[in-house]
Each structure stands twice: as structure tokens, then as C-alpha cells.
Structure 1
């Protein structure tokens, strides 16, 4: 009797001792599976919008990247006679070219590498793109706004140090935002970008509308607009078109984030909205190039090609 009682106690103690580790092992395996890294960030079943965004970014590789490089070369070529906004345009083109270079890396990481480190680098680039475009466009709009509406004040602020200071502030804000986006874990982080894009969008639209109104008013009673004002008018119109096309979808959708489920917002609304922002890396440099009366490098190449041809000999009668 004592032996059987001792045997039961031994078995019970053995079972009670061995069961919890099995449960903890199962729990740990479940937790490990739940925390498994995915480059689709929880959107494995809803990848259509993400692929749409990447497909749009293909244009940035074939159109935007060479166009941005051309813009930087032209600004460097004209560095002895710079425009006051050239530093903003140059930095914007540089960061857009940097964004275009990362597009092939995004495709490789989605379907080949599946690397967390590469995904963090891509998130950083996305953060740079999210902030640099609106802020540098705002600087260009403010520069034109002061030049047109307050020409006397503008004449006192033509030194490069003022634009350089603004550029440093924009770069600090850009890289701070990109770093925070890469690290993650900030509650309601998307609302920071929503507030930023709303303020910047409103500022740019108001500035450009005020500039257009002044330029149109100065044209009243004249047959033709002054060439410099005409150039400014075209520049402001192109910037306004970029603002409306590239940033209006974000302004229209992001403030209503609470109307969507978290998965729908993250997997559908965000990629589609950012697709319009990302394509600006191609639209902005192309519009800049179309505004130029003469593209230095292309013109020289054409001139050399034409000069290398021998003149045609007259045909004999």
C-alpha cells in the first residue's frame, strides 16, 4: 500500500514537473512564428496596392533617375549664374535620384533577399521621400512668393546663406523623420505625416495662388507679360500642378484614417496614396527640363553631331 502510494506521488510530481516546459515550448514556438519577419509587413494577403506602388516606381528608374541627374548637371553647369531656388531644386533632384536607385533594391528584397536589414534601409529611403519633397517644394514656393509679392525684401535676402540655412533645416527634419520611421514603435506615427502634409499642402497652394493672382494682375492692360514674370508664372503653374496631382490624394485620404480598418489603411490606402507622391520623382525633373529654353548638354551633343556631318555636295545636272 505504501509502495503504491509512493508510486502515485512520484508519477504526479513527475507529470507536474514536465508538463509546464512543454507548454512553454509550444508558447515560445507560437510567439516565434508570430514575430517572424516579413517584407510585406503584415500585408501578405493584400499585396495588390504594394505592387501597384512598386510598378509606378519603375518610372522613377527609367525616367526619373536620368532626368534628376540631368537637372543636377544643368544646375552645376549654370552655377556661375544661379537662380535663388537652385539649391532647393538641386537637393530635391539629388534625393529623388537617391530614391530612384533604391527601387531595384526594393524588388530584389521582396522576391529574393527577404532581408530585414535591407527592408529597414528601404523604409529609411521612403521616409526621406515622404518629407523631402513637400518641404523643398515649400521652400521653392516661399522663395517665389517673397520674390513676387515682396521684391524689396527679396532683394535683401538673395545671399546663398539664407537658402543654405533653410536647406539644412529641411535636411535635419527629413532625416529625423526617416530615422523615426525606420525605428518604428511610435504611436500614431502616421498622423505626424498627415499633419505635415496638410500644413505643407495648404501653404503651397495659398502661396502659388497668391503669386498667380499678382502676376495676372500685373498683366492687366498689356498685350504681353514681361519675360521674367512669364517665366515665374510658368514655374508657379508647374509647381501647383505637381502639388495638386501628387499630394491631393494624400490630403483627401489620410485625414480619414479612422474610417478604415488598420489593415486596409496600411495595405491599401497608404501604398496607393504614396504611389502618387513617389511618381513626383519623375514628374518634377521632367517639368523642370521642359521649362528650360536650352538644355546645355543635349544642345552641345546635337551641335557636335551636326558639325561632324559633311555638307552634302551639289548634285550634278
Structure 2
């Protein structure tokens, strides 16, 4: 009976995440691949994050359909959760550290702008994500320790980096009476990222901690587990949408589409 209940726990994610996540991440990937020198900037991390999120949306839908056709506990161990629970947080952690070094230690950041460092870090995250996917399928007990450790550590590092960045951005420069407009925009961006991190990753962190150290009466696949999964999976389309809004690409696409509808055809005149 518990296996049949899992269909309803996974259903909100299957219905909501892939239809929104696939086009949003595909658009982000297309935009980032069109930028010159993408490997030498921090957006290489966001490019890898969009790839992870797109793979998660695609393969989660496939694994959910297979699970509906064969509702067993073995089939309920979706391999793709490793990308969402380990790869995504680690890439966001790297982005937080990169932003912290750029804002708080700019001289050190300039010495660490070698593209090989960012590519190596992304390669390590890909390996960790692949290992997490294997653990999800073949070692359920070890999976909880590894993924909970990654989530807790990444969330703590991201939150700390965001707090330090926000504190640095609020400081006034020498001879200034108000914060520079560029700093104000950066402050809003980092504050939004910090809120999203807490919304998406604190629920699964709390659920994992409760599972490990909470009362024995707490059962897996409870209502709290469902909420934690939904909060974690919605990051796959919220983050690319925020990127499109922040870079001004979403309004631009709307305007281009609207202009295309209003522009008269020369052959009709």
C-alpha cells in the first residue's frame, strides 16, 4: 500500500516541474552557449546547473512513467534525484563562493580567474553527482548520509557567503553618503538568491535531519517528505526563470514576440 501512495507523492513534481523546467532551462542553455568566453566567467556554473536541471526534468518524467507501470520499491528509487539533491546544491555552493571572492576579495578573485579551475570544479561536481545517482539506486542507507551531508554543508556555505556579501554591499564607500546604485542592484540580486536557497533547501535539510535524529515514530514518505521533495524539485525551474528575469531576457523575448505579431507583412501592402 505504501508503494501506491508514492505515486501521489511524486505526482505533483511530475505534473509541475518538467513542463516549466524543460523550456526554461533549454532557453538558458541556448543563451549561455551563445556568450563568448563562457568558461572564463562564473556563468559556467550556471550553465552546468541548467544542464543538470534539464536532465532532472527529462529523466524524472521518464522514471515516473516507468514507476507508474511498475509500482515497486526498487522502481521508486529514482536515479535522477542524485542530480537534484547533490549536483545542484554543489554548483550553487560554487557560485556562492565565486561571488563571495569577487565581492569581498577581488584581488584574490582576479588571480583565480583561470578557466581551468572552473572547469575542474564542474568536473568534480559531475563526478559527485554521478556517485550520488548510483547511491540512490544501489545503497539507500548510505544515500541518506551522503546526500544529507552535501545538502547541509552546501546550504550552510551558501547562506554564509550570501550574508557576508550582503554585509559588504551595504557598506558605504569612502566619501559616500549613500550606497551606489550598482551595489543596490547587486544587493537585491544576492538577497533574492539567499531567499531562494532557504526556500528550496531548508525543507529537505530539516526533513533529512528529522529522519536521522528525530523520533522513531517519524515515517518516511510522510507529508513533510512530500513538501521537502516539492520544494527541492521546484528549484529546477525557479532558478532558470529568475536568471532570465534578472538578465532581462524574459521581457526581451516577450517584446520581440509582440513586435513580430504587430509588424506588417510587406507583401500585403
| Structure 1 length-normalised TM | 0.73
User: How much does 1:104 deviate?
Assistant: 3.0
Q: Distance in 1 between matches of 2:57 and 2:163?
A: 31
User: How much does 1:97 deviate?
Assistant: 1.0
Give the equivalent residue in structure 2 for 1:131.
Answer: 86
Pairs within 5 Å for 1:239-250: 239-250=193-204
Out of 89, 113, 120, the position equivalent to 1:158 is 113
Give the equivalent residue in structure 2 for 1:235.
Answer: 189
Query: Is the 2:93–2:158 contact (alpha carbons within 8 Å) kept by the matching residues of 1?
Result: yes
Pairs within 5 Å for 1:1-317: 43-44=2-3, 47=5, 51-80=8-37, 84-114=41-71, 119=75, 123-184=78-139, 187-218=141-172, 221-223=176-178, 225-227=180-182, 229-257=183-211, 258-261=213-216, 264-295=219-250, 300-308=256-264
- May I ask how many residue pairs the two structures share in their alignment? 264
Query: Is the 1:57–1:279 contact (alpha carbons within 8 Å) kept by the matching residues of 2?
Result: no
Distance 1:86 1:160, change over 3 A: same
- Greater RCO, 1 or 2 (C-alpha within 8 Å, sep 6+): 1
Query: SS at 1:124's partner residue?
Result: coil
Q: Distance in 2 between matches of 1:57 and 1:194?
A: 23
Residue by residue, what CA displacement relative to the aligned partner does 1:3-51 show, whole Å, maximum 9, x if unpaired?
A: xxxxxxxxxxxxxxxxxxxxxxxxxxxxxxxxxxxxxxx7236x16x52
Unaligned runs of 5+ in 2: none
Query: SS at 2:69's partner residue?
Result: helix
Q: Distance in 2 between matches of 1:172 and 1:155?
A: 27
Q: Distance in 1 between matches of 2:135 and 2:159?
A: 28
